[in-house]
Amino acid sequence: MSDEQEVKRERKIMTPEEREAKIKAAAEARAAREAAKAQAGDAEASTEDAAAEGTAAEAKPERKILTDEEKEAKVKAAAEARAARAKAKEEAEAAAAEAAPKEPSYNQPRLDRAIEILKTKVAVDAVEESYINENNSHLPTLTIKGEHWYTCAELLKHDEAFQCDYLRNVSGADHETHMEVVYHMVSISTQHEYCIHVKTDREQPSVASVTPIWQTANWNEREIYDLLGIAFPGHPDLRRIMMSDDWVGHPLRKDYVPLDSEV
């Protein structure tokens, strides 16, 4: 999640204030680096003095051999410089984030409203997570609890606020820790789009079928059942659709082992 945020932040077009803050932070970082370098330089200079003293009696060696003390000093200086750099970078990032708190997406109000409706009309804990998928045309994305999914789906199709009558796509995914069914729906009249995730347990995967609500879910759910092994209670005809009826296992699962290793 934090990776994602970082990437998003980097990609955002900078406002003038943001740029200024970045420049300032960079300047600070530069200063910090220079200070660290100067410190390291001091350390080196002092060791050189010591070396000069130590080798006064002997012939001056061509290449200076570092004493333990010297080494330690160098390592310390380098560590300090590294720490200073890291701190400067952190500060720069913090400054950038502070200067321009991420502007909420234009779809944020719609997402908030959707959550509110689902919470009041279905259940308080119906929505587990939600975010705006910015790369995907700011798509409002919600994760809905499995036990409330069917009621939510009915609401999504029939409620005045949603009217998502067109279910574009149903996909399943095996996330190794859990299974997930993903619905992309849109309202033909308002063109508002939503993406719904429904998580399910990996050992006994099961998600309520929405075929009674959207006919188009029928074959899509059969395909997911066939390839991922997710059961859809309430489906009128849950059979394999792609693989043959006597196939063993569900090929799109991450732990799937083909029966015939030659294939």
Partner 1 sequence: MIRTEELLLNVGPQHPSTHGVFRIVVKLDGEVIKEATPVMGYLHRGTEKLAENLNYTQIIPYTDRMDYVSAMTNNYVLVHAVEKMMQLEIPERAEFLRLIVMELQRVASHLVWWGTYLLDIGAMSPFLYAFRDREIIIDLFNELCGARLTYNYMRVGGVKWDAPEGWIDKVREFIPYMRKKMEEYDRLVSGNEIFLTRIKGVGTYDAQTAIDFGLSGANLRCTGVNWDIRKNEPYSLYDRFEFDVPLGTNGDCYDRYFIRMEELRQSLRILEQAIEQFPKDGEIMGKVPRVIRPPAGEIYARIESPRGEIGCYIVSKGKAEPYRLKFRRPSFVNLQILPKLLVGETMTNLITILGGVDIVVGEVDC
> Could you list the residues that contact partner 1 (CB under 8 A)?
3-4, 7, 11, 133, 135-137, 139, 165-169, 171-174, 182, 184, 188, 191, 195, 214-216, 218-220, 223, 227, 240-244, 251-252
CA-based nearest residue to 150, from 200, 64, 199, 209: 209
Cβ neighbours around 214 below 10 Å, total:
19
Output the smallest distance, CB 103 to partner 1, in A. Answer: 16
Output the smallest distance, CB 130 to partner 1, in A. Answer: 14
Sign of the torsion angle spanned by Cα atoms 25, 26, 28, 32: positive
CA-based nearest residue to 237, from 213, 214, 219: 219
Output the smallest distance, CB 262 to partner 1, in A. Answer: 15
8 A C-beta contact, residue 40 and residue 78: yes
Nearer of residues 24 and 192 to partner 1, judged by Cβ: 192
Nearer of residues 54 and 258 to partner 1, judged by Cβ: 258
Nearer of residues 169 and 204 to partner 1, judged by Cβ: 169
Nearer of residues 117 and 228 to partner 1, judged by Cβ: 228
Spatial distance between the Cα atoms of 70 and 53, rounded to a whole number of angstroms? 14
The DSSP symbol for 206 reads B
Output the smallest distance, CB 48 to partner 1, in A. Answer: 45
Output the smallest distance, CB 180 to partner 1, in A. Answer: 9
Nearer of residues 4 and 72 to partner 1, judged by Cβ: 4
Q: Which residues pair with 133 in a beta bridge?
A: 139
